[in-house]
Structure 1
Amino acid sequence: MNSLRVVFTIMLLWIGSGSVFGQFLSATDTSENSVRRYKTIINANKDIVKFIEYSLVQKGLPRHLRNLALIESSFNTNVISGAGAVGVWQFMTSHANQYGLSEQNRNDLYKSTKTAVVSLSNLYKKYNNWVTVVAAYNCGEGNISKAMQAAGSSQYHIFYKYLPAETINHVNKYLNACYATGELQSVLANYNSSRMNTVFLVNGGSKISRPELAETDINAGFNLKVIADELHVNVDQLLAWNPGINETLQRKGESSFYLPMDLMPDFLMRKNKILSRSIKESSPVSQ
């Protein structure tokens, strides 16, 4: 149990430091004009915003998702995009039909919001972070899948370059809007926490809860600093996922190696490159 307490302590230090927040993503426009513009639109549509936030909270979703409607339509129920998207949530006919929302009801605030909440909830179950959810809402799950495959990664800050420019801009607008409403840190924390292995000790250390880890093997030729750099994580995080790995590598020359399910494909794709770079740099990492 002592080793588990060590892992827990490392995680508290890692999370508490705030070093992960904003490490990969940030707002692109924090100007006074930008903040004022978003706040003005929200203040001019208080009743709509209140209803949307109530609908989100009722389903356990964060209030900041109201900013998706903000950037989609400025809360205009009658707006129609050049591509044919309609209403506050800018539903395309195919997307609406997928959730039983008729074409005629796409500009109905109540019915479209109910549909949007279900859609966003389903997307979150699939992607586990709101940044990717916003991207998928804009360009569709198919384009997200293609971008992930092209980048060899499920991390938005890596695969985003393979998305349509409109979607990249859409995500930037969302982050800017969240900055204006004081919720950017929460969005970034959610994004980064989806990449982390959070460990909890309950009732004096009697229970452990953590996301599933994938397992592979590495030998002593691998440098943890290089692995961390290639995967865009902190070395302390690797050690938290793999307590005692340095000693095992020194003693046996090989060890099991654990990473969260979403990071393991990234590691396996880069494994040969990481080993070659590790051998070149060959600087040992100590706990």
Structure 2
Amino acid sequence: MKPNLKNIILTGMLLLCSHLMNAQFLTASDTSESSVKRYKSIISANKDIVDFIEYSLVKKGLPKHLRNLALIESHFNRNITSGAGAVGVWQFMTSHANQYGLTQQNRNDLYKSTKTAVISLTNLYKKYNNWITVVAAYNCGEGNIAKAMAAANSSQYHVFYKFLPEETITHVKKYLNACYATGELQSVLSNYNSSRMNKVFFVNGGSGKNNEAFAETDINAGFNLKVIADELDVDVTKLMSWNPGISEQLEDKGEGTLYLPKDLMPDFLLRKNKILSRSIKESTP
């Protein structure tokens, strides 16, 4: 049975309205003259790099304020390496870079890493539909975001943020401060307040079961549905009942939308790379 879109939208709107008043803490935490001057000075000192990043963002339909992610990640230093091993202007970890085909050696290449960052940010926005959650996910990974959402039973950043690593919470604060310095804070906050909630819907479980809350994520044809079911310890027929028509989507389009109960989605996201690797291995003759 397909989700009732009218109920999805209505539920999302009601929950969104009920949370908006609680989202007021999302603002710049440091609006001091010294903070503004510091951010503007870094941007001014790296004008050529900033111009290239902004051009790359706008070319793909992304807002210029995302240049502030590179600002707080690296101060636009392509040769910097963090204590955790993140490299370059966009501070790519090896696993994140490899996910998009960026080699470990090319993480400090401004052109290749920016192209990769644009793709990554585009995909994250398609999933979360607001830039604040995107910045958080870029810092701590989609798995941690999924776990935080599940723990808070909410897809609203201002509700689930308390379940995120402290480093990520601080990272988002820095981003908002940088956007205040560049005069783009209101745009970021307006985007957050007008964004729809991460898609959550209710489907009839049948056989007298209560309705279950589901979440969605995109997968490509490289994923084997039997492997997904096995890794999540669910019957493949159950998985297919949650995802009618997904086999045809993957075969015809090369990609599709995977629906899972909210309590299973964090497990899938945490094991996503392992599931994909195993899927590819098992499909190889």
Cα-to-partner distance string for 1:68-114 (whole Å, 9 max, x where unaligned): 00000000000000000000000000000000000000000000000
- Aligned equivalents of 2:52, 2:88: Cα separation in 1: 15
- Aligned equivalents of 1:21, 1:39: Cα separation in 2: 31
- Aligned equivalents of 1:212, 1:164: Cα separation in 2: 23
Alignment of 1:191-270 (within 5 A): 191-195=192-196
Structure number with larger C-alpha Rg: 1
Partner of 1:133: 134
Checking the alignment, whether the CA contact within 8 Å between 1:71 and 1:173 is kept in structure 2 is yes
Partner of 2:265: none
- Aligned equivalents of 1:144, 1:44: Cα separation in 2: 34
SS at match of 1:87: coil
Equivalent residue letter for 1:176? N
Partner of 1:67: 68
Partner of 1:285: none
Partner of 1:259: none
Q: 1:55 to 1:214 in 2, by over 3 A?
A: same
- Aligned equivalents of 1:170, 1:73: Cα separation in 2: 12
SS at match of 1:91: coil
Sequence identity (%)? 79
Cα-to-partner distance string for 1:31-84 (whole Å, 9 max, x where unaligned): 011100000000000000000000000000000000000000000000000000
Partner of 1:106: 107
Partner of 1:32: 33
Deviation at residue 150 of structure 1 after TM alignment: 0.5
When the two structures are superposed, what TM-score results if normalisation uses the length of structure 1?
Answer: 0.61
Partner of 2:95: 94
Partner of 2:177: 176
Alignment of 1:17-28 (within 5 A): 23-28=24-29
Partner of 1:166: 167
Cα-to-partner distance string for 1:156-184 (whole Å, 9 max, x where unaligned): 00000000000000000000000000000
Deviation at residue 24 of structure 1 after TM alignment: 4.3
Checking the alignment, whether the CA contact within 8 Å between 2:129 and 2:196 is kept in structure 1 is no
Partner of 1:120: 121
In the alignment of these two chains, the number of paired residues is 187
Q: 1:21 to 1:154 in 2, by over 3 A?
A: closer
5+ long unaligned stretches in structure 2: 1-19, 204-261, 263-285
Cα-to-partner distance string for 1:126-165 (whole Å, 9 max, x where unaligned): 0000000000000000000000000010000000000000
Deviation at residue 23 of structure 1 after TM alignment: 2.6
Deviation at residue 27 of structure 1 after TM alignment: 0.6
Equivalent residue letter for 1:163? L
- Aligned equivalents of 2:174, 2:200: Cα separation in 1: 33
Deviation at residue 214 of structure 1 after TM alignment: 6.1
Q: 1:20 to 1:56 in 2, by over 3 A?
A: farther
Q: 1:113 to 1:213 in 2, by over 3 A?
A: closer
When the two structures are superposed, what TM-score results if normalisation uses the length of structure 2?
Answer: 0.62
Checking the alignment, whether the CA contact within 8 Å between 2:81 and 2:87 is kept in structure 1 is yes
- Aligned equivalents of 1:54, 1:24: Cα separation in 2: 31
Deviation at residue 195 of structure 1 after TM alignment: 4.0
Coordinate RMSD, CA, aligned: 2.4
- Aligned equivalents of 2:145, 2:73: Cα separation in 1: 19
Checking the alignment, whether the CA contact within 8 Å between 1:22 and 1:188 is kept in structure 2 is no
Structure 1 segments of 4 or more deviating over 2 A? Answer: 19-24, 211-216
Checking the alignment, whether the CA contact within 8 Å between 1:20 and 1:189 is kept in structure 2 is no
- Aligned equivalents of 1:48, 1:21: Cα separation in 2: 37
Is 1:144–2:145 an aligned residue pair?
Answer: yes
- Aligned equivalents of 2:22, 2:50: Cα separation in 1: 27
- Aligned equivalents of 1:97, 1:43: Cα separation in 2: 31
Checking the alignment, whether the CA contact within 8 Å between 2:22 and 2:158 is kept in structure 1 is no
Equivalent residue letter for 1:99? Y
- Aligned equivalents of 2:92, 2:66: Cα separation in 1: 15
SS at match of 2:113: helix
